[in-house]
Structure 1
Amino acid sequence: MFLSNMNRIEKSSHLLVAAFDFGNTFSGYAFSFRDKPLEIHANNTWNNGSYLSLKTPTCLLLDPEEKYHSFGYEAEKKYTKLVERDEHQSWLFFRRFKMLLHKNKKLNRRTTVKDITGKRRMFAIDIFSLSIRYLRDHFLSEVRNHYFDIEETDIQYVITIPAIWDDNGKQFMRMAALQADIDNERLTLALEPEAASICCQKISVDSKDKNNMSGLQYIVIDIGGGTADITAHRINANGTLTELYKASGGPWGGMYVDNNFLNFLEDLFGEQVMSCFKEEYLEDYLDMLREFETNKRQVTYDDCDEQEQTYVSFKLPSALREISEKENGKVLEELINSSSFSSDIFSKKDKIRVGVELARKWFDGPINDIIHHVEDLLKQPQVRQVSTLILVGGMAESPYVQEKIRYAFSSKRLIIPTDAGLAVLKGAVVFGHDPMSISVRVMRYSYGIEMFQRFKRSTHKSSFRVKVDGKSYADNVFHVFVRAGDTVQFGQEITKMASPVNKESSLYPIYRSLSSDPKYTTEPDCEMIGILSLRHYEQDDFKSKKVKLTMIFGNTELIVKSEEIGGVVKSSSTFNCLME
């Protein structure tokens, strides 16, 4: 397929890497060994009752004591049987909860998530942790069935996350993994579009593309279940990747197509009918959504026959028909004829046939948002030399999505790798072996701390002037460590010296801003993301001591730490951005 003649993989110290693609809709894992990092094994034992799958639904079932019962297809099957027997009221079923972490400014350990009924809540950290624990335990069970001498400490774990997540979402996912007993020192977070990029570069390589790929620039469009993540990369001469522009994207994933389909059914049958169908016939409801997941790929960009409208067929559960006839007092054909969809749909036996023009509208909202976003991105000077687009993620397997993007960017080469839905997972495994494969990243935000500065009329606004011990200072000054748009190397450290705040401990609020030149922490696009707390053990003459503040950039996560300088008893700390 594509991309590079560079197969640079650094030798890692662990025996194997296991990557978990924890998605909003589906989850799965894959792994490879140190000696053969590109020989990736994906689990294919998930069973939905009809066939084996490479991923399982991201859903979790808790028993009446709020204890773990099951995950994935097993959880779906058990809960639907409970619903059939009307025994589900005391159980808790959670699905599609990953989007809780998307741009959630108030995210912390006490953040809650609703179950499927919307009536009960659990701490989100527990729901995520139990889900990750299930994936870890399932992986260990499967790998030990084939490799008997594997120890848990031999494994480096990788969990994929959207590149557009905030710092608190990243830290939340790490904390959930730690709560699932994954060792912090053996855990790496991988940004999903970066992982997909690595997969295309390292694994999916055509012989015709093996030469002279150094310097190639391309954009990765990763359309998952919840979000679309978009990054731009250049291949370096040594096989590493340089990020050309800060990661971006939005809530434009496949679940919004599903929601549009459900909104269509609600418009046709009525809100009461759909609510009753979901509540009383959950198994049929989930089966309908699974079938839609498959059949929506019938939606194409061009009609087969220009003279006659093309239709897409969906199986309609008999229970839904029965509830509708009882509630609406009309058989389905009468209901269709009296609706606004009378010229777009008709029923045939147990199926409903939807005109492809109507079906396309279910896709158009999120996909048009992606297209407009990429169009704006290509106007940026840093990516004007981009010649290729790579489309990955579950939605990349839709012919309609492929052709819409191909048409919108006809001057660019469009690459859709085989098994596009697994590109993130496979790339995450490779990334786990060699985290330095992304050597340069672009900062999305400016980062710094709030501090006093000696007041200067030429520099500071008079409204920020304060008096301390008879001297004039400027308050709320944004002391910048790195600026939005800056390029940083992997693991790049930036250190500043500060003074202790008081005898017992020092608190240093960490701020970020979308501006590349923030002046004060009170500016509208500036926000505090966490507090760095440092305890002082030697409190005498604390004013003579200094504090070294270090921010580490270029990794998938921001690292901030402090160290007291000048004392005999050393004190250090790292910061927490999950503020209560």
Structure 2
Amino acid sequence: MAESDQEKYVVGIDFGTAYSGYAYASSTDFGNDPPTYYIAEWKDDKHASKKAPSTVLLDGMKNFVAFGYEAERQYSEHLESDDHRQYYYFTQFKMVLYNQLVRSNTPIIDFTEKQMEAMEVYTKIIQYFKSHVKGSIKKKTGIAVKDDQLFFVFTIPAAGTDAAEKFIQEAAKHAEIMSTHITIAVEPIVASMFCKALRTTKRDGASNSSSTIEAGMKYMVIDLGGGYTDITVHQKQINGSIQEIIPHCGNPYGGTSVDEEFLKLLAEIFGKNVMEEFKRSQNEDFKDLCDQFEFKKRIVKTEMSITISLSSSFMELVLKVRNISADDAVKKYRYKNEIYCSNQRLNILKSGVKRLFGETIESLMKSIEHVLSDAKVSDLVNVIMVGGFSQNELVEEAVRKHVGTSMNVIIPEEAEIAVLKGALIYGFSQQKDTRILPDLERMQLTKRPPCEFSKHSLTDKKNRSTTKEVYKKGKDERGFLLVINFEFAGRKDERTGSQKDVDDLKTFFETLKYHVECRSDISKEELEECLKDIRDTYLIADADKYYSFFCIVMSHGNAEGIKTCKGTITTDEIVEYFKTSKTKPFKGKPKVFFFDMCREKPKPIIGEPEVLSNAPESDSFHDDSDTLIVYAATEGNRSYLMPSGKWIGSFFIQAFLSVAEGSLHIDVEDILRDVRRELANNSEYARIGKDKCMLSESETRLSKKIYL
């Protein structure tokens, strides 16, 4: 840990349904490679973990007494001495955040049905966590940090609302945390940031490792918590950011829903009235019963049974109320082959254990299937499971079986604290004075104007309307890119700087695993032979290997067509080679053409960027199906190239790459709309005359959406 008394710290706090915890890191810690985090450790005589039970104990005057394991220990002692009703004991306090109308006076119910305002309870918990953090830092560094050195990130469930965010902010304010030192993050987002930053993980329960999430990769994050399951699909962009592909999907099933099934099982076997009386009159034994199951539930294996010890008080209560022994009550249970009772032990066989998990797992599988049914994730291959419940072997086995062997199921070693670590990454990303974050740097290798449109963060961007009618990408299919550039090297009309566009395009598309072919400075005859060879080889013979075809042509030109090193060729002639009738094996797959050139005869203008070329006017709209034709400039206008300066290259190509590197989650036509916005509004491109801007345009016959 850094020892500067001016060191800034980010603190991530995760209030879970069953377990809660915090993590922190200083600016120096986070700048390490890999970053260094401190995760709080919680202990008692029997336990040691990175999260504490979500339990808080207050006295009769509503003063804070204890949290986590210590709260459990002290409350157990009060149960033994029978003075527990003088205290407030809250468990699973997170559930109040799922209340769509949660506010400061929303009530929260304790273990013995007493009420307090949720705001007061949360304020005391946050005050405790703040004090605990400062004590931990002092113990580690010997320095007493000040409040203005701490920046807190509180996570809330995706199913929470603006009301939940305001509730936490208000509680933190009551706990004397400065509003400028608080940010609220949605759990699926921070979990995804953790997953994106993974360097090594375990796959399918094996010991082998996988690489970090790569640029362009889509990945499903299943956050299996205590009270809720969140499922999202994100994509890592070329610029290192993450964007949502599928809106959040989830359900109120998690580890605690299995606990509920266990209590329902006991109520069915021994009687609802027995269980209610047992909880009311034998609080300590009831709590011990629940704790036993919680422990067994977390470690249960696929072929394991579960054994629960029944207290003498429970055995006596069953006999008193039901006039039957506990053993005989179990024998009358409808699934008596799955469970038996002997020597005050309730033995649930493996078939019975699977039944307890059945409804929760079935609900999870339905949610996963709902997400996978969306065509936008047809190329999804990575499923990452995080959260404490993800480490349950029954759940893991069910997920792997459901998604099949074509997908990688990845469970990080620190799955339980994924949200905590992700909260720290998120927190540092919010700091204005933070340097470029590890794995969040822009991946572009050369300079280009920064994209004005995509500066917004994932949390700021609104989800765009989507459709299931998209061009599907098979898991083993790649995109294909053909780049044809006429630099005219060494000639008077040399297009200085155009090679930089080729290099940038090649880097971008190869990062997305495209097969890229480049040709430069060839004659019309050579170009025609190239187009025919590319078509016959890749769109006919190997059509099953590719899901899309992109062709980008950059050159000078005139009214008669695109200029080659010998002769001219029209855009119609180029597209003609790839018509559906000539590429039948590629039928139904998209073909996209970019023509980067002027669309009028160039007139040199002293002091302005170099003019590229003219494109001829097309007499008729191309009747190819699944074809998109894009011109860098509108009809009658010019396209521009920056030959030198702080950035180099074609205005259109550089604007396209700048937008696309952070927009893989939206379709190509939406990307092109944003490119037009960049060309019109970004001051870097406002170099072509007064009150003028360059504007691209498209001709489309696409019937579906196409994603890069």
If the length of structure 1 is used for normalisation, what is the TM-score? 0.69
Question: Is 1:23–1:225's contact at 8 Å kept on the other side of the alignment?
Answer: yes
More strand by share: 1
Deviation at 1:42, TM superposition (A): 1.0
Q: Which residue of 1 aligns with 2:10?
A: 17
- The whole-number CA distance in structure 2 between the counterparts of 1:330 and 1:112 is 40
User: Greater CA deviation, 120-129 or 68-77?
Assistant: 68-77
Question: Is 2:315–2:344's contact at 8 Å kept on the other side of the alignment?
Answer: no
Q: Which residue of 1 aligns with 2:503?
A: none
Q: Which residue of 2 aligns with 1:356?
A: 350
More helix by share: 2
Change (3 A) 1:35 1:515: closer
Deviation at 1:108, TM superposition (A): 1.8
1:427-468 CA-partner distances (Å, limit 9, x unpaired): 2122211249899xxxxxxxxxxxxxxxxxxxxxxxxxxxxx
Change (3 A) 1:488 1:107: farther
Do structure 1's residue 167 and structure 2's residue 192 form an aligned pair?
no
Deviation at 1:426, TM superposition (A): 1.7
Rg: which structure is higher?
2
SS at match of 1:163: coil
Q: Which residue of 2 aligns with 1:284?
A: 285
If the length of structure 2 is used for normalisation, what is the TM-score? 0.57
Alignment of 1:426-575 (within 5 A): 426-435=421-430, 489-490=456-457
Deviation at 1:53, TM superposition (A): 2.1
Change (3 A) 1:56 1:210: closer
Percent sequence identity is: 29
1:218-269 CA-partner distances (Å, limit 9, x unpaired): 0100011111111111112232212212222121121111000111111122
SS at match of 1:314: strand
- The whole-number CA distance in structure 2 between the counterparts of 1:99 and 1:316 is 29
Aligned letter for 1:489? H
Deviation at 1:340, TM superposition (A): 2.2
Change (3 A) 1:175 1:24: same
Change (3 A) 1:435 1:192: same
- The whole-number CA distance in structure 1 between the counterparts of 2:344 and 2:41 is 31
Deviation at 1:50, TM superposition (A): 1.0
Question: Is 1:195–1:427's contact at 8 Å kept on the other side of the alignment?
Answer: yes
Change (3 A) 1:406 1:263: same
- 5+ residue gaps, structure 2: 1-5, 202-207, 432-436, 441-452, 467-662, 664-708
Q: Which residue of 1 aligns with 2:501?
A: none
Change (3 A) 1:335 1:405: same
Aligned letter for 2:37? I
Change (3 A) 1:271 1:396: same
Alignment counterpart, residue 30 of structure 1, candidates 11, 18, 23: 23
- The whole-number CA distance in structure 2 between the counterparts of 1:190 and 1:318 is 47
Alignment counterpart, residue 189 of structure 1, candidates 157, 164, 184: 184
- The whole-number CA distance in structure 2 between the counterparts of 1:51 and 1:298 is 14
Do structure 1's residue 53 and structure 2's residue 49 form an aligned pair?
yes
Q: Which residue of 2 aligns with 1:251?
A: 252
- The whole-number CA distance in structure 2 between the counterparts of 1:126 and 1:212 is 41
Change (3 A) 1:202 1:136: same
Do structure 1's residue 97 and structure 2's residue 93 form an aligned pair?
yes
SS at match of 1:36: helix
Alignment counterpart, residue 128 of structure 2, candidates 118, 128, 134: 134
Deviation at 1:487, TM superposition (A): 9.5
Larger relative contact order (C-alpha < 8 A, sep ≥ 6)?
A: 1
Alignment counterpart, residue 402 of structure 1, candidates 396, 418, 428: 396
Do structure 1's residue 344 and structure 2's residue 338 form an aligned pair?
yes
Change (3 A) 1:318 1:196: farther
Do structure 1's residue 177 and structure 2's residue 172 form an aligned pair?
yes
- The whole-number CA distance in structure 1 between the counterparts of 2:192 and 2:465 is 28
Change (3 A) 1:14 1:369: farther
Q: Which residue of 2 aligns with 1:237?
A: 238
1:493-547 CA-partner distances (Å, limit 9, x unpaired): 89xxxxxxxxxxxxxxxxx99999xxxxxxxxxxxxxxxxxxxxxxxxxxxxxxx
Question: Is 1:299–1:360's contact at 8 Å kept on the other side of the alignment?
Answer: no
- The whole-number CA distance in structure 2 between the counterparts of 1:493 and 1:145 is 38
SS at match of 1:89: helix
Change (3 A) 1:381 1:357: same
Deviation at 1:388, TM superposition (A): 0.9
Question: Is 2:153–2:185's contact at 8 Å kept on the other side of the alignment?
Answer: yes
Q: Which residue of 2 aligns with 1:519?
A: none
Question: Is 2:100–2:160's contact at 8 Å kept on the other side of the alignment?
Answer: no
1:348-373 CA-partner distances (Å, limit 9, x unpaired): 43422112222212222222222111
Deviation at 1:417, TM superposition (A): 0.8
Deviation at 1:491, TM superposition (A): 8.0
SS at match of 2:256: helix
Alignment counterpart, residue 144 of structure 1, candidates 115, 138, 142: 138
- The whole-number CA distance in structure 2 between the counterparts of 1:117 and 1:434 is 43
Question: Is 1:298–1:312's contact at 8 Å kept on the other side of the alignment?
Answer: no
Question: Is 2:25–2:36's contact at 8 Å kept on the other side of the alignment?
Answer: yes
1:28-49 CA-partner distances (Å, limit 9, x unpaired): 11112212222111111332x3
RMSD over equivalenced CA pairs, Å: 3.0
User: Greater CA deviation, 289-298 or 49-58?
Assistant: 289-298
Alignment counterpart, residue 328 of structure 1, candidates 322, 327, 330: 322
Deviation at 1:107, TM superposition (A): 2.1
Q: Which residue of 1 aligns with 2:41?
A: 44
Change (3 A) 1:386 1:299: same
Deviation at 1:341, TM superposition (A): 3.6
Aligned letter for 1:80? S
- The whole-number CA distance in structure 1 between the counterparts of 2:423 and 2:465 is 31
Q: Which residue of 1 aligns with 2:228?
A: 227
Q: Which residue of 2 aligns with 1:460?
A: none
SS at match of 1:178: helix
- 5+ residue gaps, structure 1: 1-12, 304-309, 440-485, 495-511, 517-553, 555-580
Aligned letter for 2:162? D
Do structure 1's residue 67 and structure 2's residue 88 form an aligned pair?
no
Aligned letter for 2:170? M
